Structure 1
Amino acid sequence: MRFLYIGLGFICIGLGVIGALLPVMPTTPFLLLALFFFGKSSPRLHSWFLQTEIYKKHLKSFDEQRALTKKSKISILTLSTVMMAISFYFTPIYGRICIVILLLIEYWFFFFWIKTIDER
């Protein structure tokens, strides 16, 4: 199981790096998954990941304080809303209902669960 977690961690890092370069793909969720998988697989890989610049730039504030900057929140919500709006357009009624429910949950989560911190 350990090797599975290691492999999934590196796949998530790769997807996170691609997401940092492409505007249509999210970065933070993949990096959070990588952090989780490395934490489950190896203390050495976990501590290595905590020292990387991609972790420090995208995840450190969330991992340590469970908070994001206002800029990060706006960019994540904008991108995900646009992507879900495109999906909303192309899906039948039951899919649209699910998308609206997901958007409501997402916005509730971002407004009431994740704290907002000042940019440094």
Structure 2
Amino acid sequence: MSQPPAPAPAEPPPPRPTVARGLQRVLLQVLAVLALVLAGLGVVLPGLPTTPFVLLAAWAAARSSPRLAAWLERHQLFGPMIRDWQAGGRVSRRAKWSATLAMLACAAIMWWLSPRWGAWLGSATMALVGVWLWLRPEPGR
């Protein structure tokens, strides 16, 4: 009888960045907490993104507070998007759709309330971000 093939080795986790010291560490911690607060607001406020602020918080925490970084990576809501991003810049289909719908809603509000040049500029920027976002790989693919 033949042995079943051995499972492929898992990819090693990315190396941890060096933790900053002194004032730089404090500033990065403040940035991490501020980004986390904005991400939390983005969960409940339409039009305010969540994912970019979570990723910014994870980046700053990894360089200033290993404890906060570990908490973020284990978090039920924020952890999966951080791990997906760290595993090759992956963004879930759900996050892509949420961001696209939020950008469409913001564009509609801009066309209603802003001067035309502002609506064009904002819509063009969001369209570019949307294209970039949909070109990101998805987890499990």
TM-score tier, shorter chain, comes to 0.7 to 0.9
**Per residue, is there more strand in 1 or in 2?**
1
**Distance in 1 between the 2:95 and 2:72 partners?**
21
**Distance in 2 between the 1:69 and 1:118 partners?**
9
**Distance in 1 between the 2:49 and 2:91 partners?**
15
Q: Could you say which residue in structure 1 is the equivalent of 2:133?
A: 110
**Per residue, is there more helix in 1 or in 2?**
1
* TM-score calculated relative to the size of structure 2: 0.70
Q: How many residues align?
A: 118
Q: Could you say which residue in structure 1 is the equivalent of 2:97?
A: 74
Percentage identity across paired residues of the two chains = 23
Q: Does 1:51 align with 2:74?
A: yes
Per the TM alignment, residue 118 of structure 1 is displaced from its structure 2 partner at its CA by 5.0
- AA partner of residue 16 (structure 1): A
**Distance in 1 between the 2:73 and 2:139 partners?**
20
Residues 23 and 93 (structure 1), Cα distance of their counterparts in 2 relative to 1, 3 Å cut:
closer
Q: Does 1:20 align with 2:43?
A: yes
Partner of 2:91: helix, strand, or coil? Answer: strand
Higher RCO, 1 vs 2 (CA within 8 Å, ≥6 residues apart): 1
**Distance in 1 between the 2:90 and 2:83 partners?**
9
The question of whether the paired residues in 1 share the 8 Å contact of 2:39 and 2:49 is answered with: yes
Unaligned runs of 5+ in 1: none
**Distance in 2 between the 1:100 and 1:88 partners?**
9
Larger Rg: 2
Q: Could you say which residue in structure 1 is the equivalent of 2:30?
A: 7
- AA partner of residue 96 (structure 1): A
Per the TM alignment, residue 15 of structure 1 is displaced from its structure 2 partner at its CA by 1.8
Q: Could you say which residue in structure 2 is the equivalent of 1:93?
A: 116
The question of whether the paired residues in 1 share the 8 Å contact of 2:72 and 2:79 is answered with: no
* TM-score calculated relative to the size of structure 1: 0.80
